[in-house]
Amino acid sequence: MIGKLNHVAIVVPDLAAATALYRDTLGATVSAPVDQPAHGVTVVFVELPNTKVELLAPLGDTSPVAKFLITNPTGGIHHICYEVEDILVARNTLQAAGARVLGNGEPKIGAHDKPVLFLHPKDFLGTLVELEQA
Ligand code: CO
């Protein structure tokens, strides 16, 4: 069911420092910071030959990643995103297998303007999994 690894999202306490680390130390191609108010984050996209890393910093007072930084003050991997061909088929298959979909179970438009869902980390080896319709 799952296809390509679309991205790995890392929440960081200092976006400029994290960007410099990936650009200067790791030699990666990085984007300018992009504010995504609808998602409560500012994102820097790290472009790799086969996938992306997204460096996320909280934006606004109600950012969904702010709590993560309290628990993980130096940052950490927040979620991984797999592509699926049909997000509703994927959801129905996973729910039938007993997996929990976060929120109301309906796909939302994600950071790439495509439908996404998040799966409960307790059902997936302690990892928050995002599914994005390719
Ligand atoms: Co994501």
pLDDT digits (tens, 9 = 90+) for 95-109: 999 999 999 999 999
CA of 81 to the centre of ligand 1 (A): 6
Which position among 54, 83, 130, 132 bears the catalytic label? 130
Place 110 in a pLDDT band, splitting at 50, 70 and 90.
confident
How far is Cα 109 from Cα 38, in angstroms, rounded to an integer?
10
Helices (H) and strands (E) in the chain, counts: 3, 9
Place 94 in a pLDDT band, splitting at 50, 70 and 90.
very high
Q: What is the DSSP letter of 101?
A: B
The token pair that represents 85 in the structure block:
């061909």
CA of 27 to the centre of ligand 1 (A): 22
Whether residue 112 has pLDDT greater than 90: no
Q: What is the pLDDT of residues 11-59, one digit of tens each?
A: 999 999 999 999 999 999 999 999 999 889 999 999 999 999 999 999 9
CA of 24 to the centre of ligand 1 (A): 24
pLDDT at 134 (0 to 100): 92
Whether residue 122 has pLDDT greater than 90: yes
How far is Cα 7 from Cα 91, in angstroms, rounded to an integer?
19
CA of 125 to the centre of ligand 1 (A): 18
Q: Is 132 an annotated catalytic residue? A: no
**Residue of 3, 2, 4, 11 whose CA lies nearest to 99:** 2
Q: Span 2-133: which CATH code?
A: 3.10.180.10
pLDDT at 61 (0 to 100): 82
